[in-house]
Amino acid sequence: METTTTACLAALALFVLFILCAFGLYSIREGEPRAARLALGTAVVASLPLVLTNLLPVGTRLVILGIIAATGILGVVLFLLPVGRVERGDDMPNKRFDERDIMFARARLVPDSPEYEAYYAMRPENQAADDKTRTLPGLLSPDASKAAPLTFASAEASFSLTEALREEVDGPVAPARSEYTADQMTSYIKGLARYYGAYTVGIADLQPYHVYSHIGRGSGRYGAPITLEHRYAIAFTVEMDHAMMGPAPEAPVVMESARQYVEAARVALQLGYLIRSLGYPARAHIDGNYRVIAPLVARDAGLGEIGRMGLLMTPELGPRVRLGVVTTDLPLFPDQRSDDLSVIDFCRLCRKCAENCPSRSIPYGDREEIDGALRWRIDPDTCFRYWNVIGTDCGRCMAVCPYSHPHNPPHNLVRWAIRRSGLARRAALWLDDVFYKDKPPPRPAPDWVPLDSHKAVLKKVARSGRVFEVTGGAAQSSQDRNGD
């Protein structure tokens, strides 16, 4: 009996030591020194008492093992309890959205142009706020508060490539159709998309609410009604690099964002070329030339759910993805939308993106019915206005999201748990705050990304505890606003 209890306690100590040390080493690789210190320190603190317990009498050791076993059984029971079940509700929009109303389309309007006059005759309530936004430095502007010349130039190079590809989204269809079954093509298209670089891929029946009602950007006549009669939509994700997203809202984030728009365009265009060569129409939907609302298509293709920050939340990487879509009449088998609502429950509990949003554009409350659909809606005006102050597309919400941690064994184990247990979701949120803080500071950029002259000023601002917020078309700190 003595040998058995000694072996059990020693094995338990080694298990705890191994798990926490492994997490600590992964944290070092991720550039998370706080998480690494806490993990390695906890490894010693938690395993040492188990080793020292072997100095106690056999009876005492049996009691301790009994308590540990009972605690484990209780944990399993609590893990299996139906805590955190939420109703999906009706989250299907009851009308199509006009692309002219999105901030990116409104930002392209040139004052006194026919498009400018036509739009603000239709939406006069947007003109004053949009004109204020136009007075700000702008995305990738050298006058922006987070201007970083070399990094901004690199992002501009990627955006320029995507722009050069915008007229390649459609093309002639081969006159002869290749005959393949829907099952064959579904399997092949999904495998090919991953081969080209997609992280996940799914297929949806194209719905009316997936398609914008009128052209606001890209090819075609501004304001023209959109007719897209394809039957299916192939949606896919591409991963945004964890290390480059870590410094958000600093310049590396817009560089990574631009690069992944290129990757999404590259995958979509290749799929489109292939499908048209088989004798079926296909249109790629890429940055600046969409006809569909990509997050809704991806959601209905089973790739995730729309979260608190208004972005697609994938079970594997959270919001740390960019999306691409190809619509087509190629015979395919659509995927079923996921029945897993753990992401919705997690977002309902977690407000980390809202609490860390520099422009306070993300709602704190629960989902609301908007255009007939139950969802969260950010304030796009204040969000986009902040982008025009700092010169980057921010990405702070992506960087702090607990789902955005790297795809590795420790974080995948947590993802596995939160998909299956409401209790695990609550524990994961608490642990994320413990190991990474509720308001984590931006992580350093990779060593090869150059530091720019403004960094010292930004660090000084960060140390002062000021949080920048956008109000009335200008950026001001919460300290200035509150007068303290």
pTM of this structure: 0.88
The pLDDT value recorded for residue 470 is: 42
Residues spanned by the domain of 165: 99-356
Same-domain pairing of 141 and 247: yes
Residues 359-412 pLDDT 10s: 999 999 999 998 889 999 999 999 999 999 999 999 999 999 999 999 999 999
Same-domain pairing of 39 and 125: no
Tell whether 322 is covered by a domain. yes
The residue from 356, 381, 398 where one domain ends is 356
Residues 209-263 pLDDT 10s: 999 999 999 999 999 999 999 999 999 999 999 999 999 999 999 999 999 999 9
> At 54, is the pLDDT very low, low, confident or very high (cuts 50, 70, 90)?
low
Query: Beta-carbon neighbour count of residue 78 at 10 Å?
Result: 14
Q: Is 44 a residue whose pLDDT tops 80? A: yes
Same-domain pairing of 6 and 136: no
Six-digit token string for 79:
């893990």
What percent of the chain is modeled with pLDDT above 70?
89
Q: Where are the beta strands (DSSP E) in 65-177?
A: none
- CA dihedral (302, 306, 312, 317) positive or negative: negative
Residues 15-37 pLDDT 10s: 888 889 999 999 999 999 999 99
The residue from 31, 46, 80 where one domain ends is 80
Cα distance between residue 12 and residue 124, in whole Å: 68
Least confident of 10-24, 26-40, 85-99, 421-435: 10-24
Residues 268-322 pLDDT 10s: 999 999 999 999 999 999 999 999 999 999 999 999 999 999 999 999 999 999 9
Total domains, the chain? 2
Same-domain pairing of 63 and 132: no
Cα distance between residue 206 and residue 409, in whole Å: 35
Q: Is 188 a residue whose pLDDT tops 90? A: yes
Same-domain pairing of 72 and 214: no
The pLDDT value recorded for residue 406 is: 94
Report the mean per-residue pLDDT for the chain. 88
Phi, psi of 423 (to 5 degrees): -65, -40
Phi, psi of 115 (to 5 degrees): -65, -40
Same-domain pairing of 222 and 138: yes
Same-domain pairing of 50 and 109: no
Q: Is 55 a residue whose pLDDT tops 70? A: no
CA 221 to chain centre: 31
Same-domain pairing of 343 and 241: yes
